[in-house]
Structure 1
Amino acid sequence: MISTNDFRTGLTIEVDGEVYTVLEFMHVKPGKGAAFVRTKLKNRRTGAVIERTFRAGEKVNRAHIDRRKMQYLYNDGDTYYFMDSETFEQFALPREKLDEATKYLTDNMIIDMLFYQGETIGIELPNFVELKVIETEPGIKGDTAAGGSKTAVVETGAVVQVPLFVEVGDVIRIDTRTGAYIERV
């Protein structure tokens, strides 16, 4: 059991017999009445996002998620294939189970596959990935010192806001949790 006061983004909990990941949470202390926690939860099986309010200090079950190291192999459109690094067993997941992760998957990437009671419920990417910029507007001399940003498309097709000095061919580090540019490598 875990208290709603201990919620954090990414926590996996059980509510009404379903497995949810906490996407957002906010502790609210109104001037009158009891405090509560307003959350946005994502169902790991269906992908549906719901909003739910809990009383402050209410106890909920923490979902026990098993993680196994997997290697991303390839995709054939809407199905993505992974291989267990120890047993060499292959797993196929539909695009819907991967959410935004497809933006950052590269061939042979090692990820954590998430299992709940023997059922595959998704994957967890490394916190940071390094990807090559394949398309962006050229930086204009003199603009780079002033700061600012522009959009860039990386090799996986993800669109990222980058500083003006980033050019086509540069390799950049991206935070997979937020989709934000971190640095040029």
Structure 2
Amino acid sequence: MAKASEFKKGMVLEVNSVPHIVKTIEARNTSSRGAATLYEVRLNNLITQQKFDLLLKSDDQYPVLDCERAEVQYSYTDGDQYVFIRMDDYSQHPVNIEDISDELGYITEGLEGIVALIVGGVVAGLELPSSVILPIVDTSTSIKGSSSSARTKPAILCTGLEVQVPEDIALGDIIKINTATGQYMSRA
């Protein structure tokens, strides 16, 4: 059991008999004297991938689940499953496409830094690296003399993900994307 004041990003907790991963924690101090600190915790259900918010007092407790973290790499697609290979023992772990639909726009073959959360021998979720580098496969032509900090335009990446990029970015450019926000960071 862990108290809300001990929660850390990435912990796997059992909430309503279902595994949830802690995505964000924000402590809120109330203004009156002697009032308890409240913790606003955002969780992701590892089975349905739905987001779930809790507002907890520092003494509220939830069971911590045993969850193995293993570095994996995307290998291939088999029907409606993505197959990941574990980097330490090269075992294969299939994951349904709908279970990782939010992450698909960032996953490419050979992408390193993916961590699988394994509960009971099954991949319950993926943690992506903080940023990925992807090429642009479709965008409008760049405007000569445009500034990199001015207006933006849509661009489609090799994975099918659409992001907003500065106007001076051209077709074929390779860019860095923040996986948490889905926003353009810089040229690679």
Query: TM-score normalized by structure 1?
Result: 0.83
Establish whether residue 12 from structure 1 lines up as the match of residue 12 from structure 2.
yes
Deviations, residues 107-140 of structure 1 (Å, cap 9, x unaligned): 2323322202333202222222111011112232
Map of 1:50 onto structure 2: 52
Return the match for 1:183 from 173, 183, 186: 186
CA distance in 2, matches of 1:153, 1:31: 47
Gaps (5+ residues) in structure 1? none
Contact 1:47 1:96 in 2 (8 A): no
Residue 113 of structure 2 corresponds to residue 130 of structure 1:
no
> Structure 2 regions of 5+ residues with no counterpart?
none
Q: Does 1:164 align with 2:167?
A: yes
Matched to 1:23, the amino acid is: K
How far apart are the structure 2 equivalents of 1:26 and 1:104? Answer: 26
For 1:27, the equivalent position in structure 2 comes to: 27
RMSD across aligned positions (CA):
2.5
The match for 2:39 is: 37
Q: Among 72, 75, 79, which residue is 2:74 paired with?
A: 72
Contact 2:2 2:62 in 1 (8 A): yes
Counterpart of 2:156 (choices 153, 159, 171) is 153
Could you tell me which of 140, 144, 161 is aligned with 2:143? Answer: 140
Hey, what's the Cα distance between the residues in 1 that align with 2:149 and 2:106? Answer: 29
Rounded Cα–Cα distance in structure 2 between residues aligned with 1:129 and 1:35: 36
Aligned length in residues: 185
